[in-house]
Every structure is written in structure tokens, then in C-alpha cells.
A = this chain, B = another copy of it.
Amino acid sequence: MRTYKLALIGFGNVGQGFTQILRDQSESLAQRFGAEYKIVAVCDKLKGSLYHPEGLDPALLLDTVQAGKSLETLKTEASGWDAQETIAGCGADVLVELSYTDLETGEPAASHLRQALKAGMHAVTTNKGPIALHFPELLKIARENHVQVGIEGTVMSGTPTLHLGLDLLAGAEVQKIQGILNGTTNYMLTQMEQGISYGDVLADAQEKGYAEADPTGDVEGFDAAGKVVILANVLMGASITLNDVEREGITGLTVDDITAAQAEGQRWKLIAGVEKTPDRIKASVRPTRLAVDHPLASVGGPTNAVTFTTALLGDVTLIGPGAGRLATGYAILCDLISIDRITQ
């Protein structure tokens, strides 16, 4: 049995989803993959911070947080460490970086990742910011330190888009990628097809928790643009930044636009695309009319999808969840299984 000690920085929805998977499936994972995962440290600015070298009980962590109590009410070897102290002191094999996303600086996540990789830990993150901004640098540090960086959850949550592109389609020569990478706007556009106005749909999405109070990141296409940067840099060997993405959100679309498209057998989708041209990589996010029989046209609600256009296989499309507590928690597990497969 191979044992991996994990340190979780951030214990919000994703961290709790992942911990729930460990709580429920540790035995089955051990049996199927010959690997066990122990959370030795959790560090969350609001929920508290604690460390135990023998591992913390996932059920106890979840119960404590769900009861609204600080994690530091639990008895452990140490508590109260900040992120930097946690990474330095926890002796984990893998840093699981789940702090909040900042698409402008990538901080504090980028610093956490650098610190862990330089200390010889593998790192896994679902955090778009540091990966959209600093992936080439982080990969370089990882290679210098002979460790892996897992980033599956940064695009389409646990739907294994990046692993599909990197591990399974690399030999087929990916020439173009088009996707529905933001579930919030896709939900909104799907609702607008019922004739509901942009304003009402936005209010509904905010009420359901799909959209934030300030929806700019979603509706203006910043979230999708961050993901396009990741696809371009990770799968097409580019090194572009957010500024290289031509970006247009959905705020200009009206119900009239949407019903006019429907009348012609088409659907408006917010399409994130990246394409290799002879001289450069072109990346964009923009509302696009698709014929209803296009594989991305039937992707409704908060679901995400991506179509890889390849030289040898033509189009290959992957459709799956783009958010969700367990789905994003699974992204971490998917990366951990992959690290175990590569390094064992």
C-alpha cells in the first residue's frame, strides 16, 4: 500500500467535497488502486487550521465544519498555522491548493504552489488564477524538483478534460479547441430560450447560487477566458495570458436575439475557443450561433463541454459537469490517481 500525506489549503466547498469522497471511499480506493490518502493538515482562514502527522479523520473534519465550529476546537498536534507555516511544517507528500481564485494576481495560491513544489511536494489545485497566470513557471519549478502538478479541476471541474487532451489526444494533434466552459452563462442562455429576460435570468441564477452578487466574472467572459488560457498553454504549448484572449460576454444578448436564432435552427452559446494558425495561437471568448445539431448546441443548463478538433480523429467532444462540490472534489482525486500512476 502506497500512502500519500495531504495538506489542504482552503476548506470550502471543494475541500469539503474532496474530504467527503475520502470519508466514503478510502477503503474502495485502497482496494482498487493500492493507494491511501491521509489528510495531515487543513488550513483555512475562516474555518481554522490544524495539523496531525498521523492524519485527521475526514468525518470529524466535516462534522465540525458543518456544525459551524472552528476546526481548531479539535484536538491535534498543532493548530493555528497560516498557509506558509502549514506547507513548511506538515511534511505532506502533496499540497492540495484550494484557496480563493484571483484571476488578476493568482495570489496567494501561486505562492503556496511555489513553496510546496520547491519543498519537493507534488501539488494539486482546482484554482484557475495561478494556473491561468503562472502555469509555465510552476511546471518548470515542478520539473526541477521532480514532482508533479495536477490541475484537472481548473477547467470543467472533475470532467477530465485536461487529462483527455494531454494523455489521450496528444498523439492525435489537437489543432482547435472550442468549449462551453462557464456553466453560469450557459444556464442563463438556456433559460433565456424560454423567453425570460436577461435581468430575470440573472436574478434567478444568483438565487440558485450559480452566479455571484457581482456577476462580472461570468457574464463578461473573464472566467471562460481564464480557462481558455489554461487550455491553450497546457494542451497547445502556447504561453498566452488573459490579455491575449479576445473577449466578449453575454450582456449584449437579448431574448429577441435568442428567439431569432431559434427560428433559424440555431442556438446562442458563449463559446471559448483556441486555435493554432500557422503563425500564432488565437484565443477568444464570444457569443456564437451554433446549428442545433452541433455537438455543443445541445449542451444545456450548467453543463460544460469541449470539442477537440484533431488531425487524426476529427472532432472529439467531452460533455460533463463544470461545477459542483463532489464533481470538483473528484478533480483532485483524478489528479492524485494520476500522480500515483506516474510516480509508482
**Residues of A that sit less than 8 Å from B by CB:** 21, 25, 29, 32-33, 158-160, 163-164, 167-173, 292-293, 295, 297-300, 312-321, 324, 326-327, 329-330, 333-334, 337-338, 341-342
How many copies of this chain sit in the oligomeric assembly?
Answer: 2
Contact between B312 and A295, CB atoms less than 8 A apart: no
Which single member of B163, B173, B342 contacts A168 (CB below 8 Å)?
B163
> Chain B residues with Cβ under 8 A from A315's Cβ?
319-320
A-B contact pairs, 30 of them (CB 8 A): A25-B171, A33-B170, A158-B172, A159-B316, A160-B164, A160-B316, A163-B167, A164-B164, A167-B338, A167-B341, A168-B334, A171-B330, A172-B330, A172-B334, A293-B300, A295-B298, A295-B319, A297-B298, A312-B326, A312-B327, A313-B320, A313-B326, A315-B319, A315-B320, A316-B320, A317-B318, A317-B319, A317-B320, A318-B318, A319-B319
A320 engages B314 (CB within 8 Å): yes
| Least distance between A342 CB and chain B CB atoms (Å) | 8
Docked Cα-Cα span, A21 to B173, in Å, equals 11
Q: How far is the CB of A58 from chain B (nearest CB, A)?
A: 15
**In the bound complex, how far is the Cα of B319 from the Cα of A329, in angstroms?**
25
What B residues does A172 contact at CB under 8 A?
158, 330, 333-334
Best-buried of A21, A172, A326, A342 by chain B (most CB within 10 Å):
A172
Closest chain B residue to A314, Cβ basis: B321
Closest to A330 in B: B312
A293: nearest chain-B partner, CB-CB: B298
